[in-house]
Structure 1
Amino acid sequence: MNITGYAKKFLLVLVAAAGMAAGAHASEGGIALDRAPNKTNDLQSLQHGAKIFVNYCLGCHSAAFMRYNRLQDIGLTEKQIKDNLLFTTDKVGETMKAAMDPKQAKEWFGGTPPDLTLIARSRAGMGGSGPDYLYTFLRTFYRDDTRPTGWNNLAFPNVGMPNPLWQLQGERRPVYAQREEHGHATQVFTGWEQVAPGTLSPLQFDQSVGDLVNYLQWMGEPAQNTRVRVGVWVLLFLAVFTFIAWRLNAAYWKDVR
């Protein structure tokens, strides 16, 4: 095979890889991602998100790389952690393990629920950041009697898990409108219809999901805020040092000229 043949083959491989990536993105993110609130400096939001995570996510999912005592970084005391958040262990130094047996989870859902420690960092894609994906995913569940769990999701079609926050959100169904595109009728998602109310209003639910996503984002890199804060001071120091070095250099060479 000559160089031209190799080039054509290489281009075909690139096109195929791009097609597979686009297909994966379309299957898991068929709708536009909503912008997640970025409030990882808001301790109240992080504390509320940690509470939601422990109560609604930790039953099936683990956070095996996060220890309970690390929650002191978001303003919780050791006593508050022990009294309100320790459900799967009695030691504050233990990691966040799921309450469900992984073998049973695999039998019920067809696969072991993934660990969520780094989920906010791993779900970033072409459509938005990892928090954007999670914020959209957690708010786009709907009832679907054709699915084994009775639930489906617009951001992740045919998802294997039920809606963990359905009691807070209530039950909704997506509303579609038909639109002609290139001579073919297609269904376009236009919004939601509330079928049964939840314990929270839509605004309260969105705020709660935002707090949960903030916590998941913080959990993926607890030192992020410290790193950014230290980085700002380092840049300021370098700016001041550069100015001082520039003036010293001018003072040193003024007599030489």
Structure 2
Amino acid sequence: MRNAIFALLLLVAPFAAMAAGGHGPELEEANIDLKDKASLQRGAKYFVNYCMGCHSLQYMRYQRMADDLGIPDDELRASLLFGDAKPTDMMTNALNPADGVKWFGTEIPDLTLVTRWRSPDWVFSYLKSYYVDDTRPYGVNNLVFPDVGMPHPFVHLQGVQAPVYAGGHGDHGEGGGHVVGVKLVEPGQMTPGEYDLMVRDLTNFLTYAGEPSKLERRQLGLYVLLFLGLMFIVSFYLKREFWKDVH
């Protein structure tokens, strides 16, 4: 009995440690809508034009994306294909992984599944949470992802944010206060509302890329449940008919 209790404690301990250490900032709700084709189209353009120089979507094909999102072929070729890329290609880039390690300290991740192993809310909050930090190699840090290695890709759109410290400390953290929030100190090309919409569109697109058939899967699942419910009723009355003489 004692050994069984000890084994159970060993099994539960990692999850307890994770729960105890999960004191990160509260995430904002992304409020994405996978049915909003206009949002998905805008998100695709933001990703290709701002993110794809470093990040890839190696499990997504340009043509599949265009067909799903209703992007005409001429627009796909004019706005989303660069260099010698073809509609039938996967959405990869030519960045050497070794260069990613050299420039950012780690290999640059593919983002096809980022919202599935992080969550849409995490991605949305992350892209809104950069702040100035002179101690970091690229001069910025992130509230959601502390000590982030990636520079802020949208600083010219969002503007410059300063950290907000706990305990009433100054803007440079005198007294050892830790960062609990961010505040806009230098406006960018977009208003805060416009930037939120842009980040929401990008998060929406990345969520679609992680599971392009999600809406179809849910709809099919509903049909399956309705079918099973109907078959249960039929089976119930059929069983009663077969067994009525036995009882």
Residues 118-170 of structure 1: per-residue CA shift (max 9 Å, x gap): 111111xxxxxx11111111110111111001110000100010111111111
Residue 135 of structure 2: aligned partner: 146
Residue 154 of structure 2: aligned partner: 165
Q: Does 1:95 align with 2:90?
A: yes
Residues 202-237 of structure 1: per-residue CA shift (max 9 Å, x gap): 011111111111111110110111111222233334
Residue 29 of structure 2: aligned partner: 35
Q: Is the CA contact (8 Å cut-off) linking 1:170 and 1:196 kept in structure 2?
A: yes
The amino acid that maps onto 1:210 is R
Residue 126 of structure 1: aligned partner: none
For residues 37 and 98 of structure 1, the distance between their equivalents in structure 2, rounded to whole angstroms, comes to 29
Aligned length: 240
- CA distance 1:135–1:99, change in 2 (3 Å): same
Residue 196 of structure 1: aligned partner: 186
Q: Is the CA contact (8 Å cut-off) linking 2:32 and 2:201 kept in structure 1?
A: no
Q: Could you list the runs of 5+ residues in structure 1 that have no partner in the other structure?
A: 124-129, 180-184
Q: Does 1:54 align with 2:48?
A: yes
For residues 16 and 111 of structure 2, the distance between their equivalents in structure 1, rounded to whole angstroms, comes to 28
Q: Is the CA contact (8 Å cut-off) linking 2:131 and 2:182 kept in structure 1?
A: no
Q: How does 1:200-219 map to 2 (within 5 A)?
A: 200-219=190-209
Q: Does 1:106 align with 2:101?
A: yes
Residues 167-211 of structure 1: per-residue CA shift (max 9 Å, x gap): 1111111223417xxxxx984766533221111110111111111
- Identity, in percent, stands at 41
Q: Could you list the runs of 5+ residues in structure 2 that have no partner in the other structure?
A: 169-174
The amino acid that maps onto 2:105 is G
Out of 202, 213, 225, the residue aligned to residue 223 of structure 1 is 213
Q: Does 1:45 align with 2:34?
A: no
Q: Does 1:155 align with 2:144?
A: yes
CA positional deviation for 1:116: 0.5
TM-score w.r.t. the length of structure 1 is: 0.81
- CA distance 1:118–1:238, change in 2 (3 Å): same
- Match of 2:185, SS? strand
Residue 122 of structure 1: aligned partner: 117
Residues 218-257 of structure 1: per-residue CA shift (max 9 Å, x gap): 1011011111122223333444454555567778889999
